[in-house]
């Protein structure tokens, strides 16, 4: 009798254990099915990657580049299926370094001569995708109202980067204040000045510092974007202003070589080259910024 009772007890425990195992297995199966069913309504890894690929991070100078890109972002990008993240920089060095480091996907702040010179100096292989606008370089002063008033020995602050330096000297030469050596071109330096009848003094500064130099120098050559930032209107306030005719200094959308055919880059390039952007530039800047197209 004891043996029979023991067998019955063992069979009962086995039956209970079997039922528990079945219930656990069923619960796991049901949970798996539920989770699988829910997964169908959640974004997959591939869909998240696809969504992320529609966003482009662009490094810009605040004026006018950020303003132009904000117009594109607010008015044109959504219809083109593009999300734009705007990253502002206050100088002409960091946007290219950030591009090289992969912190941004493209930048929009520089012209081709500067881009090529910077790339050669820093070992960064960049290409221009599309020209957008021209910021005429201007000659400004808070001390005189016309170039006829430039005195002997006057001090002129000019950009110290290679391309804008040559550009500034050519603008000054075009006003008859100096004569440059034949063939100096856009690579001109102060060593290329052959004739300086007023014995002008040239102080080379980083472009971002030039607006401040107006308080100390007699005149200053200032890049258009920095002039606008301090409230100057180049088309009205400059004593001399570059012409847009055959101007090689159009500001461009730039990327690392090999990325120029990236779909997001191509889409942004098309938007920046659109009639809507051209009209926005003309309406907003009244000749102080000129569409490149």
- What ranges do the domains of the chain cover? 51-136+248-291, 138-241
Q: What are the pLDDT digits (tens) for 10-42?
A: 343 444 434 443 344 434 334 333 333 333 333
Core vs surface per residue 193-228: b (16+ CB within 10 A) or e = beeeeeebebeebebbebbebbeebbbbbbbbbbbb
**Cα distances (angstroms) measured from residue 86 to each of 60, 83, 105, 282:** 7, 10, 11, 22
Architecture of domain 51-136+248-291: 3-Layer(aba) Sandwich (3.40)
The helix (run of H) or strand (run of E) holding residue 28 is helix 2-39
Q: What are the pLDDT digits (tens) for 73-100?
A: 999 999 999 999 999 999 999 999 999 9
Say whether pLDDT at 6 is over 70: no
| pTM of the entire predicted model | 0.74
CATH fold of 138-241: D-Maltodextrin-Binding Protein; domain 2 (3.40.190)
Say whether pLDDT at 253 is over 80: yes
- Decide whether 51-136+248-291 matches 138-241 in CATH topology: yes
Say whether pLDDT at 1 is over 60: no
């Amino acid at each position: 009798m004891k043996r029979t009772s023991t067998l019955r007890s063992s069979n009962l425990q086995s039956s209970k254990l079997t039922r528990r195992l079945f219930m656990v297995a069923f619960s796991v199966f049901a949970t798996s099915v539920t989770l699988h069913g829910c997964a169908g309504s959640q974004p997959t890894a591939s869909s998240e990657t696809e969504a992320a690929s529609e966003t482009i991070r662009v490094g810009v100078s605040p004026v006018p580049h950020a303003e132009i890109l904000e117009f594109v972002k607010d008015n044109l990008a959504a219809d083109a299926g593009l999300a734009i993240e705007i990253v502002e920089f206050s100088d002409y060095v960091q946007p290219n370094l950030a591009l090289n480091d992969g912190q941004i996907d493209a930048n929009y702040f520089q012209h081709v001569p500067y881009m090529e010179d910077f790339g050669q100096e820093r070992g960064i292989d960049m290409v221009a995708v599309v020209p957008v606008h021209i910021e005429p370089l201007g000659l400004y002063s808070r001390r005189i109202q016309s170039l006829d008033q430039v005195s002997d020995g006057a001090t002129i602050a000019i950009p110290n980067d290679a391309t804008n330096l040559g550009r500034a000297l050519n603008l000054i030469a075009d006003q008859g204040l100096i004569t440059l050596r034949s063939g100096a071109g856009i690579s001109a330096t102060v060593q290329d000045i052959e004739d300086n009848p007023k014995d002008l003094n040239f102080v080379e500064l980083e472009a971002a510092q030039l607006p401040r130099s107006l308080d100390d120098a007699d005149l200053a050559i200032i890049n258009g974007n920095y002039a606008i930032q301090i409230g100057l209107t180049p088309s009205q306030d400059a004593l001399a202003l570059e012409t847009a005719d055959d101007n090689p200094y159009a500001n461009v959308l730039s990327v690392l070589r090999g990325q120029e055919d990236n779909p997001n880059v191509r889409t942004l390039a098309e938007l920046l080259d659109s009639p809507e952007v051209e009209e926005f530039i003309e309406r907003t800047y009244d000749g102080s910024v000129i569409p490149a197209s």
